[in-house]
Amino acid sequence: MSDRETELMLRVKGGDARAFEELYGLYKRPLANFLYRLCWNRPLVDDLMQEVFLRLWRAAPNYEPTARVSTYVFRIAHNLWINEGTKRRAQALGDVDRPGRDDPSKDLERGEVQAAVRKAIDELPDGERECLVLSEYNGLKYAEISEILGIPLGTVKSRIFGAVQRLREKLKGMRG
């Protein structure tokens, strides 16, 4: 898939709007999942997604296929989160969108576990949370995370290890 994505990105670099739409289709869901797990706020995710893809379009003329397209896209999202995230997160704290279960009578315990996990992830330090989300929810390899975040591979490993340890400690005693 990487060759196809590179081909699409090179076409986007040349101004091909259809190729851009195809890239959007490929990355909309994984990028939304990544951003949602950083802020848990759907309206904010929508705003951030729009900005990421706008930045991708604007940056396309400078694209060089030296890394995977996924690295390029997630790097843009990471930079946006760092540059604008602080002010937006402050706004989001008062307006957090945390949807409940579709049917409260179904699997109450599972819903409680999910809420506890979400809360525990929220409480992780930003660097640990980003690494964990990219790895566990987006399925990226540690080397890709290193490139996206611009940090050494060892730092990625230690942040994920730290995140897992913190989550284990916070969720100790929970079943499921």
pTM for the model: 0.63
Q: Where are the beta strands (DSSP E) in the chain?
A: none
**What is the phi/psi pair of residue 101, to 5°?**
-75, 150
Burial class of residue 140, CB neighbours in 10 A (0-12, 13-18, 19+): buried
What is the architecture of the domain spanning 1-99?
A: Orthogonal Bundle (1.10)
Q: What is the dihedral of CA 133, 64, 56, 60, to 10 degrees?
A: -170
What confidence category does residue 90 fall into, taking pLDDT thresholds of 50, 70 and 90?
low
pLDDT digits over 111-161, tens only?
Answer: 677 788 888 888 899 899 999 999 988 888 999 999 999 999 999 999 999
100-176: which CATH number, 3.40.1160.10, 1.20.970.10, 1.10.10.10, 3.20.20.140? 1.10.10.10
